[in-house]
Amino acid sequence: MSAGATFEARLKAQALGLGFDLAGIAALGPAETAPAFERWLAAGQHGEMAYLERGAAVRRDTTRPEPGMRSAVVVTLDYGGRSPHGTVARYARGDDYHRLMWDRLEELRAWVRAERGASVGGRAYVDTGPILERDLARRAGLGWFGKNTMLIHPGKGSFFFIGALFLDLDLVADAPLAGEHCGTCTRCLEACPTQAFVAPGVLDARRCISYLTIESRSVIPDGLRAPMGELVYGCDICQDVCPWNVKFAVAPPAEGTLAPHADRVAPDPHELLALDDAAFKARFGTSAITRTRRRGLARNAAVALGNRREPRDLEALARAAKTETDPIVRVQVLEALAQR
């Protein structure tokens, strides 16, 4: 990079040098998508995710989560959309991404302080603060909102994590990407097994397989179990069919934090149903799969076995019906046995 490069250009180059795949800068302020987000909450389409309601007022404006912050460096990290098909969403097949991204963002903050002074304030966010991350990333020029609600970049697709480093500096922001580039394509809407998209760009989380298998703490409703097939944690279907991912998705890392574990691609639902809390933590303790807890993963495994309904699956469900002590899992096991 030339000696005359702007601070913003050097900052983004430093982010890329730390291993992020995209970097852009956005000015903090009112979130453009806040009204749509609040309409979504009012319609109850967030389901059991009450934390979204609690933080709604703060999410309206990105200057609110951390007072004094004025700009954000928004980054993405690809996790490999060309990983083989499986029953666990691709993002959760490696170790938990939060610490990896936080550490890199903290390194970026240290570089900023070295360049601009130790008094520069900042804070890193990776899925943990009351922020509309997609809104911020779009404003930083990192993509547009697809009809499946995902942020899509024209050269990367959508299989990536989003993080941000808030800074108390006034930085020159990047321009948002002009327009949206889905055109007349509706492949994502048509491919959803549970018909979770009530309109282009509007997701009813209560019908989304990712929500049902990860965020929901309840029994999977009748009518949504069969379309889940054998998926036990998350869903990539609306991303798999997106032409931008078909063209630009890349292989997952061969090593390191995000490299897929072989037993997290398509784990045996028999084994998942049989795990106790200690075994669950031992097997998945370093993974984002801990989000669903043992109860959720066993519940999901019961649904998968009920959908597959091979003789040995029914035998496993019958055994679990006699031994399972968790009330949610037990009900799901009985529902699976009764399923036709």
Catalytic residues: 127
CA distances for 203 relative to 96, 163, 186, 238, 301, angstroms: 25, 22, 14, 11, 24
Residues 313, 337: Cα–Cα separation, whole Å: 9
129 φ, ψ (degrees, to nearest 5): -115, 165
For 88, the enclosing helix (H) or strand (E) is: none
- According to DSSP, residue 66 is labeled S
Burial class of residue 227, CB neighbours in 10 A (0-12, 13-18, 19+)? middle
Beta strands in 147-241 (DSSP E): 151-152, 160-167, 197-199, 202-203
Angle 180-185-186 (CA atoms, 0-180°, nearest 5)? 110
Between CA 266 and CA 139 the distance in angstroms is 36
d(CA 196, CA 237): 12
Pairing mode of beta strands 160-167, 197-199: unpaired
Structure tokens at 331: 């009900």
Contact residues for 190 (Cβ-Cβ < 8 A; gap 6+): none
Please name every residue paired with 161 in a beta bridge, in sequence order, or none if there are none: 77
User: Which among 187, 15, 27 has a CA at the least distance from the CA of 101?
Assistant: 15
Q: Say how far apart CA 231 and CA 89 lie, in whole Å.
A: 8
Contacts of 6 (CB under 8 A, 6+ apart): 172
**Alpha-carbon span 170 to 53, nearest angstrom:** 30
